[in-house]
Structure 1
Amino acid sequence: MPVESHSGTARAPRAPRTDAQRNRDRVLEVAAEVIAEQGTQASLRDIARRAGVGLGTLYRHFANREALLEALLHRRFTHLAERADALAATAPPERALAEWLYEFTLGAGAYQGLPAALMATLNDPQSPLHADCLTMRQAGGRLLGAAQDSGVIRPDVAPIDLFALANALSWIADQAPTLAERQEHLFRLMMDGLRPRSDRD
């Protein structure tokens, strides 16, 4: 929104100072490393220390933990939404859905604690993660609808069911690393369950 100057003329909002942008980028870079190591409940103080900034600087850029996660995940969610559209245009409905779901499942397990954080956004429109997550889920829902219209996925599956099942697979690997090697097998079992019964007999 334009800002009015003392002379009464409108001027564009000031761009972030170079050093402020550098600090923000550095915090995000370090946060990705620390959260990958420690999970979504990683210490913000530790992130600030390792980024070489004060905790106040971190909070000036990211008001809370969810705002920091939103910034980290925005690119991932945007990619998944765009990926769904690309698959819809180039692959048969069932393959498009399966490839997208598999990519989502792997991504949801990128950080320890992320599957739980994603589920928490479902009923919290105020969460900074909610809007990006909703856009991503809607893109997956379109793939689901196309697969159902083609008859390869059972009609009683709702988009929220799909999200919950895929997220549950990520949660299993998150909570029980010894089962991570079974993730592909579990994914195939999930896909089998999504098909109409006649296709599974």
Structure 2
Amino acid sequence: MTSEGRPLRADARRNRARVLAAAEQVFADKGTGASTEEVARAAGVGIGTVFRHFPTKEALLEAVLVDHLRRLAEHADTLADEGDAGAALFGFFTHVVRQAAGKNAYTDALGEAGVDVRGTTAEFGGRMRAALERLLVRAQRDGAVRPDVGVAELLALMVGVSRAGEHAGPEVQARAAEIVFDGLRAPAADIQVR
């Protein structure tokens, strides 16, 4: 949408999408300190095009973070309808943990710039939480996850394992996730026979 509330023209939508994709790649490769000029070069557009869509670097970082959360929510929605509920939940948990370093970098940079990250991400954070809850309920109904786990605990575990990876490395992060999964699984006696 334009600032007047009109939909973007097709070429403007394409340019915006190119800038977002390039920004995500540049920030992943070089960190959130990379310049908007580097993003413009990677997107194959002029710096004016970047600033037309994202007036500040913080606005660009915010848009990349929101787009990332939107894709995570869509992925969780897709998994909520797949066959093996336990595998879907644990697969999504692993996916979130692997991508967390980038998300955390955006969140930290925006927080340091004084941006209200919770307000910015509320819509897609809420969608992701709802999709995660559907995944959890299905996995519990199928007997793959213990019944006393709530979505709040699951999110806390995701955050903990994600942050651990930033300090201990990917091997420890993967091992920590497996330990968490063992704790989340329903005891063998509770598994329902279908």
TM-score by length of 2: 0.69
Residues 58, 110 of structure 2: 8 Å contact kept: no
Q: CA deviation at 1:16?
A: 3.3
Q: How many residue pairs align between the two structures?
A: 182
Q: For residue 169 of structure 1, what is the aligned residue in structure 2? A: 161
Q: Work out the CA distance in 1 between the residues paired with 2:184 and 2:165.
A: 21
Q: CA deviation at 1:33?
A: 2.6
Do structure 1's residue 190 and structure 2's residue 180 form an aligned pair?
A: yes
Question: Which of 84, 89, 95 is the matching residue for 2:81?
Answer: 89
Residues 62, 106 of structure 2: 8 Å contact kept: no
Do structure 1's residue 80 and structure 2's residue 72 form an aligned pair?
A: yes
Higher alpha-carbon Rg: 1
Higher mean alpha-carbon deviation, 43-52 vs 85-94, is at 43-52
Q: CA deviation at 1:57?
A: 4.8
**Secondary structure at 2:181's aligned position in 1?**
helix
- CA gap 1:17/1:185 in 2 versus in 1, 3 angstroms: closer
Q: Work out the CA distance in 2 between the residues paired with 1:199 and 1:64.
A: 53
**Secondary structure at 1:154's aligned position in 2?**
coil
Structure 2: which amino acid aligns with 1:183?
Answer: Q
Cα shift readout 1:81-132 (whole Å, capped 9, x = no counterpart) = 3333333333232222111211222222346624757999xx85521x2212
Do structure 1's residue 142 and structure 2's residue 145 form an aligned pair?
A: no
Residues 107, 117 of structure 2: 8 Å contact kept: no
Residues 65, 103 of structure 2: 8 Å contact kept: no
Q: 1:16-31 alignment to 2 at 5 Å?
A: 16=9, 18=11, 20-21=12-13, 23-31=15-23
- CA gap 1:142/1:63 in 2 versus in 1, 3 angstroms: farther
Q: Work out the CA distance in 2 between the residues paired with 1:50 and 1:95.
A: 37
Cα shift readout 1:8-62 (whole Å, capped 9, x = no counterpart) = xxxx9474384x55653443243123211233354446545766634x6534312
Q: 1:151-170 alignment to 2 at 5 Å?
A: 151-170=143-162
TM-score by length of 1: 0.67
Residues 61, 106 of structure 2: 8 Å contact kept: no
Q: CA deviation at 1:186?
A: 1.6
Q: Work out the CA distance in 1 between the residues paired with 2:143 and 2:17.
A: 46
**Secondary structure at 1:90's aligned position in 2?**
coil
Q: Work out the CA distance in 1 between the residues paired with 2:118 and 2:103.
A: 22
Runs (5+) with no aligned partner, structure 2: 190-194
Runs (5+) with no aligned partner, structure 1: 2-11
